[in-house]
């Protein structure tokens, strides 16, 4: 495979890359950084990754750095409103359209994905991957021992969890810190609503207070009752203290049967835990979402006013190249955003995700920045807190609609 062409970067430059791909999430980014260093030996790379799944920690630090006029040279951000509605709106990013043109990317990335990255006549970041949110994970050997199959619908899920509890699996569903509970919610919502009503929720055509949307919370409450949350009477292993990886570990240890998490779980299981996809760990679309791919994409942009701009452009070129994407994604559990990636080097999980990406209905993730403006997404945790406090579906629906009205969702 040909390496993407290096550009000439003067020596003694620095490149600081902000992301949440640290610790167990780090190997794929690290491989790319090492490749960059081979291509640009004169650039000192500061891989300033900070743990905290879904960017919960790094986003706050990024905000401070941007606001004081000291941006990192490039930073991880989800495709969609997460960048468009924030730093693009604030005029802090460079338009990357010239780079897309010079690299031939206009036809190398799916047109729909480029439109997620575009606004105000510009293209604002380079996608590193395509990720799937709606996946249920399990350990086939454990399910076999317990005599259950992966559930295909949420009703089947509830029935299966009941059987598992009767067999002594106290909390069959593993969740972790609060964003992972929101992540679970989006799979339940997509399953209960279906892709048309899911989209209608974000375009403002379906109100959160519509009985169909209220039912999402009813089902969510029933699903959550099987998880390692306080509500399940399992305080010692309260999910709020666990990372998404630790939630996945509960499956491997046989303490839980399922977790609903994005396909970075495949990266963790295969790359970090060295488990074989399809043998040691299994997956399926999250219940009631077969045929729908709830997508998100991680991307990197170019803040205005950075010192070593050519070093950052070299980084973006590598990231968007076929070689860079096929180096990063097989380790990460995700698939390349590019249309010309070499699927033969991906594992069984990624190959199945790539097949679904090409054939499924596509829906956008809420939690990972695609479906709604940041002003809504950032307040969704407050809605969840209201629900968790009293398990009152109508109260949560009313709170969600109040925020939707306040931010003008869909307008």
> Which residues of this chain interact with ligand GAL, rule CB under 6 A?
20, 25, 53-55, 78, 131, 244, 262, 264, 296, 298, 368
- E strands within 173-233? none
Question: Counting Cβ atoms within 10 Å, is residue 265 exposed (0-12), middle (13-18) or buried (19+)?
Answer: buried
Nearest-approach distance from CB 298 to ligand GAL, in angstroms: 5
Rounded CA separation 114/101 (Å) = 12
Question: Terminus-to-terminus CA distance in the chain, angstroms?
Answer: 46
| Residue 240 C-beta: closest distance to ligand GAL, Å | 16
Q: Is the CB of 55 or the CB of 303 nearer to ligand GAL?
A: 55
* Of 154 and 300, CB closest to ligand GAL: 300
Tell me the closest approach of the beta carbon of residue 262 to ligand GAL, in angstroms. Answer: 6
Q: Which is nearer to ligand GAL, 176 or 303 (CB)?
A: 176
- Strand 13-19 vs strand 74-78: parallel, antiparallel, or unpaired? parallel
- Name the token pair of 96: 């990357």
> Nearer to ligand GAL by C-beta: 82 or 356?
82
Kindly report the number of other CB atoms within 10 A of residue 54's CB atom.
22
Provide φ and ψ at 204, rounded to 5°.
Answer: 85, 0
Q: How far is the CB of 331 from ligand GAL (least distance, A)?
A: 12
Tokens 């996608």 sit on residue: 127
Q: Which CB sits closer to ligand GAL, 78 or 207? A: 78
d(CA 18, CA 396): 34
| Beta carbon of residue 390, minimum distance to ligand GAL (angstroms, whole number) | 28
In whole angstroms, what is the distance from residue 153 CA to residue 161 CA? 12
| Residue that the structure tokens 């004081």 belong to | 68
Name the residue whose CB lies closest to ligand GAL.
53
Cβ-based nearer residue to ligand GAL, 208 or 264: 264
What value, to the nearest 5°, has the Cα angle with vertex 20 and ends 352 and 18?
120
Question: Which of 49/88 has CB closer to ligand GAL?
Answer: 49
Q: How far is the CB of 179 from ligand GAL (least distance, A)?
A: 8
Of 53 and 71, CB closest to ligand GAL: 53
Nearer CB in complex with ligand GAL: 185/264: 264
Smallest gap from Cβ 381 to ligand GAL, in A, equals 14
Alpha carbon distance 317, 96 (integer Å): 11
Place of tokens 């997460």: 82
Task: Please report how close the Cβ of residue 245 comes to ligand GAL at its closest, in angstroms.
Answer: 9
Strands (E), 5-116: 13-19, 43-49, 74-78
Least CB distance to ligand GAL at residue 161 (A): 24
CB 372 within 8 A of CB 202: yes
Rounded Cα distance between 102 and 43, Å, is 23
Contact (Cβ atoms closer than 8 angstroms) between residue 337 and residue 129: yes
């Amino acid at each position: 495979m040909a390496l993407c062409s290096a550009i000439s970067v003067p020596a003694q430059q620095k490149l600081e890359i902000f992301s949440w791909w640290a610790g167990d999430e780090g190997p794929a980014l690290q491989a790319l950084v090492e490749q960059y260093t081979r291509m640009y030996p004169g650039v000192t790379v500061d891989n300033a990754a900070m743990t905290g799944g879904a960017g919960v920690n790094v986003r706050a630090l990024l905000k401070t750095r941007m606001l004081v006029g000291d941006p990192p040279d490039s930073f991880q951000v989800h495709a969609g409103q997460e960048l468009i509605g924030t730093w693009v709106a604030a005029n802090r990013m460079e338009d990357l359209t010239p780079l897309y043109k010079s690299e031939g990317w206009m036809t190398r990335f799916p047109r729909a994905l480029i439109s997620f990255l575009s606004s105000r006549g510009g293209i604002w970041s380079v996608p590193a991957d395509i990720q799937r949110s709606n996946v249920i994970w399990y350990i086939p050997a454990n399910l076999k021992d317990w005599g259950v199959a992966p559930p295909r619908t949420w009703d089947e899920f509830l029935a299966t969890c009941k059987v598992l509890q009767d067999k002594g699996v106290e909390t069959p569903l593993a969740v972790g810190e609060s964003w992972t509970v929101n992540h679970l919610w989006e799979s339940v919502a997509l399953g209960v609503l279906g892709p048309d009503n899911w989209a209608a929720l974000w375009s403002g055509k379906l109100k959160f207070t519509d009985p169909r949307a209220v039912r999402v919370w009813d089902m969510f409450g029933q699903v959550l009752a099987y998880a390692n949350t306080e509500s399940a009477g399992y305080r010692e292993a309260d999910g709020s203290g666990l990372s998404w990886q630790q939630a996945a570990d509960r499956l491997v240890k046989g303490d839980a049967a399922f977790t609903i998490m994005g396909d970075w779980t495949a990266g963790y299981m295969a790359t970090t835990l060295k488990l074989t996809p399809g043998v040691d760990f299994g997956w399926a679309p999250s219940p009631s979402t077969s045929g729908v791919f709830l997508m998100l994409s991680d991307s990197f942009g170019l803040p205005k006013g950075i010192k070593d701009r050519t070093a950052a452009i070299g980084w973006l070129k590598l990231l968007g190249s076929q070689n860079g994407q096929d180096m990063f994604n097989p380790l990460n559990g995700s698939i390349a955003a590019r249309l010309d990636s070499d699927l033969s080097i991906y594992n069984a999980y990624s190959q199945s995700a790539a097949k679904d990406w090409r054939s499924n209905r596509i829906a956008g993730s809420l939690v990972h920045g695609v479906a709604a403006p940041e002003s809504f997404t950032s307040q969704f945790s407050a809605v969840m807190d209201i629900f968790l406090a009293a398990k009152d579906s109508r109260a949560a629906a009313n709170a969600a609609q109040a925020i939707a009205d306040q931010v003008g969702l869909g307008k």
